[in-house]
Amino acid sequence: MHHRLLARQLQRLMGNDFLPDESWNSFLQLVSNYYYEVDLERGLLENALEVNSEELTSANAQLRAKAEHEKALLQSFMNSIPDLFFAKSMDGVYMACNQMFERAMGLTEKEIIGKTDAQLLSAERVLSASSIEKKVLGTNQQIVMEEWITHSDGSKHCLEMLRAPYYGVDGKPLGLIGIGRDITDRRKLEEQIRLSALVYQHTAEGMLVTDPSYQIIDINPACARMTGYALEEVRGKSPEEMFNSGRQNSEFYELMRETVLQTGSWSGEVWACRKNREIFAKSMVVNSILGDDGKVNGFVMLFSDITEKKQANDMISRQANYDSLTDLPNRSNFRERLKHEILQAERARSSVALLLIDLDHFKEINDTLGHLVGDVLLKEAALRISDCTRKSDTVARLGGDEFTVILSRMTDPKHVEVVAQKIIARLAEPFQLGDSVVYVSASVGITVYPQDALEAEELLKSADQAMYVAKRQGRNRFSYFTQGLQTAAQERSRLSSDLRTAILENQFYLNYQPILDLDTGHIHMAEALLRWDHPTRGIVMPGEFIPLAEETGLIMPIADWVFREAAKWAGRWNDLVPGGFQVCVNASPVQFRAEGVAFQKTWIQYLKDNAIPGKCIVIEITEGVLLDADTDALEILQNFHNADIKVALDDFGTGYSAYGSFAKFPIIKYLKIDKSFIHVRSNTALCEGIIMMAHKLGLQVIAECVEEQLQSEMLEKAGCDFVQGYLYSRPIVAEQLDAILRHGAMSR
């Protein structure tokens, strides 16, 4: 028997990953034959490989050398085997082992050979090993089983242990060999496969496996559940043909496949169709499966049903992009669309018109009829505006009572005007809101890209300015943005920054316009009117800067300064004039909104600190303050009343609200009839009516802006209490009024 042959054969057998049974058998045969032959030659049957050199005579030297040589060869061969290997005699004594076995035992060959398990292993392992070995030798059968062992370095290994008897040439068993293959990695892999199979079966995610040509090989239960198809129904078909919703074209799928081909995966959202024709959204990942050779073996598609999530997202995006009341695009959505339209127009060299629509007097309706009615009106207004536009136009609600229309791809500039006029006319039609019929009108600002502005934000701003012009011109009309408007806008922004320094630099002063008692012609009252001595512009009138101050919040410090200044003189003149004196101070609705009663308290405290009686101050408020839902008008009036400060209702007759809205507020002392009653509507009967009603409610009436003798006479006849106007005196500085008061009453 040639050991080389044995070695070669063994090597061939062991080289295979998994030895078939026949291979094991022939291997064992070879091993046992070899041992037998060596033993025969050496006459050492009991200790096949334990060569006792002493027992070998010199006559046997040649044989011994040969045996040594062969033993060395066999040993090196055994050591080259990646599996652990040992051979035992019939009574369990180790006769041979390789390095793998040494390593597993943590012992050297010398320490192992000649010993039994009982001398080497723990009692527990001895027990299990010996019972198996008994069985192997008893039944003459090989047994393969898995065993977990702990190496001397502490690492745990799973061995596939084969134990088999080996035989002599006479067919008698000579002992037992063991071959253990470390299958730890394989076990781990198997466990992984088992787990992934479990996942595949039980996951909520749909999984689908196809071959390289996208033909379905397998689907998991979740996929079957989601799509409604059983495996048999889809096997061999392509996912695209099975689940196509028609919402994505073939280019979409081509692109998907192309991406997978190039990058190995694709992910995205796909609309798919269930067996019951229901369409659903899925979020999907497609991965290619590569073989060892790097070729594509197939594809795995993983997907989940995101229809509900998508619906929720749609909801959220709807809420983020649409106004919940009118369902129109909201401000941010509008901005996006405007930008988009501008881009398109830039490319097409066309123009875009922007209409900014503000409902006139909406606030009053909201305040008097309630927010619910106001909401109904806004909805109806949204419908009417949409009615006036084409499908391709955008109608949006910017908030409050502000709407906007984007007219895209405008060719005829006349068209803009037609739409604007249509909208104004439709909004002027009566609104039937529950029981009440309400009239509103609209002021529309028009601006055009690219003439007026190039950027969306600028365009909106200029539309806003144009809209304000429409309002100032008397509402219920439209106005174009013009270059003049633009300079005015720039002017305003410059003015508002100047306004800041004005307070600090003491550029304000007050004029006082005397108010005469119609009966006596005496002056017991004057209205404080604010003036701004601008360093470069000269005197700026309140009509120019008060709205700016209101917008910027600077109205608060300004109002405070006005009050203190006016109160100072009021106190002096009250002491000076027999029968007392009152200074009327204008208050802006914004003051009440911003700080409510807080500033009121500081005023009242100021009066106390300076020993100025409250009764020499009259605060002029407008109807707006009474109707403002954001302020507690009653509380404000009550506070004034408690401090003995009188209240006048200014500009009466200009507001929207019906006469007598102030009847709810008995604390008001004076009514100031607006100049429009006296000038345009110079009408004795009307004035008489207002005055009579005021008197009935315990109010006294002041007529403003009396310019002509005729008006004065009319007012006297109508029973008016006080008059104020250029006819008697222009607003004058405090020192002037002081002089007049000191030198006696001014006569008519």
Question: Which residue type does 550 have?
Answer: E
Question: Which residue type does 402 have?
Answer: E
For residues 460 and 331, what is the distance between their CA atoms, to the nearest angstrom? Answer: 11
- The SS3 call for residue 369 is helix
* 513 lies in the binding site for ligand C2E (CB under 6 A): yes
Question: Residue 407: how many CB atoms within 10 A of its CB?
Answer: 22
For residues 628 and 75, what is the distance between their CA atoms, to the nearest angstrom? Answer: 105
Q: Which residues of 593-631 are buried (b: 16+ CB within 10 A; e: fewer)?
A: ebebeebbeebbeebeeeebbbebbbbbbbbbbbbbeeb
Minimum distance, C-beta of residue 654 to ligand C2E, in the bound complex (Å): 9
Judged by CB, which is closer to ligand C2E: 182, or 650?
650
Which of Ca ion, ligand C2E, none does 541 bind, CB closer than 5 to 8 A by kind?
ligand C2E
* 650 lies in the binding site for Ca ion (CB under 5 A): yes
Handedness of CA 445, 450, 456, 457 (dihedral sign): negative
Tokens of 467: 């809209």
Segment 599 to 628, residues that bind Ca ion, using CB under 5 A:
620
Of 288, 330, 513, 586, which one interacts with Ca ion (CB under 5 A)? Answer: 586
| x-marked contacts with ligand C2E along 456-495 as a string, rule CB under 6 A | ----------------------------------------
Of 407, 546, 636, 671, which one interacts with ligand C2E (CB under 6 A)? Answer: 546
Question: Residue 48: how many CB atoms within 10 A of its CB?
Answer: 23
- The residue among 633, 525, 534 whose CA lies nearest residue 585 is 525
Segment 658 to 717, residues that bind Ca ion, using CB under 5 A:
704
Minimum distance, C-beta of residue 655 to ligand C2E, in the bound complex (Å): 13
| x-marked contacts with ligand C2E along 685-724 as a string, rule CB under 6 A | -------------------xxxx-----------------
Segment 3 to 42, residues that bind ligand C2E, using CB under 6 A:
none
Which of Ca ion, ligand C2E, none does 539 bind, CB closer than 5 to 8 A by kind?
none
- The SS3 call for residue 508 is strand
The β-bridge relationship of strands 646-652 and 670-673 is parallel
| x-marked contacts with ligand C2E along 619-658 as a string, rule CB under 6 A | -------------------------------xx-------
* 89 lies in the binding site for ligand C2E (CB under 6 A): no
Segment 576 to 595, residues that bind ligand C2E, using CB under 6 A:
586-588
What's the longest Cα–Cα distance across the chain?
164
Minimum distance, C-beta of residue 595 to ligand C2E, in the bound complex (Å): 14
Judged by CB, which is closer to ligand C2E: 442, or 618?
618
Which of Ca ion, ligand C2E, none does 342 bind, CB closer than 5 to 8 A by kind?
none
Residue 308: which region, alpha, beta or left (left: phi > 0; alpha: psi -120 to 50)?
Answer: alpha
The alpha carbons of the chain give a radius of gyration, in whole angstroms, of 52
For residues 222 and 204, what is the distance between their CA atoms, to the nearest angstrom? Answer: 5
Q: Are 320 and 329 in contact (CB under 8 A)?
A: no
The β-bridge relationship of strands 523-534 and 431-433 is unpaired
Question: Which residue type does 259 have?
Answer: T
For residues 207 and 223, what is the distance between their CA atoms, to the nearest angstrom? Answer: 6
Q: Are 355 and 389 in contact (CB under 8 A)?
A: no
Judged by CB, which is closer to ligand C2E: 353, or 703?
703
Total residues at the site for ligand C2E (CB under 6 A)?
Answer: 20
Tokens of 529: 């009117």
Minimum distance, C-beta of residue 516 to ligand C2E, in the bound complex (Å): 12
Minimum distance, C-beta of residue 428 to Ca ion, in the bound complex (Å): 28
Judged by CB, which is closer to Ca ion: 280, or 670?
670
Judged by CB, which is closer to ligand C2E: 380, or 527?
527
Minimum distance, C-beta of residue 643 to ligand C2E, in the bound complex (Å): 19
Judged by CB, which is closer to Ca ion: 623, or 704?
704
Q: Which residues bind ligand C2E (CB under 6 A)?
A: 513, 529-530, 541-543, 546, 562, 586-588, 650-651, 704-707, 725-726, 731
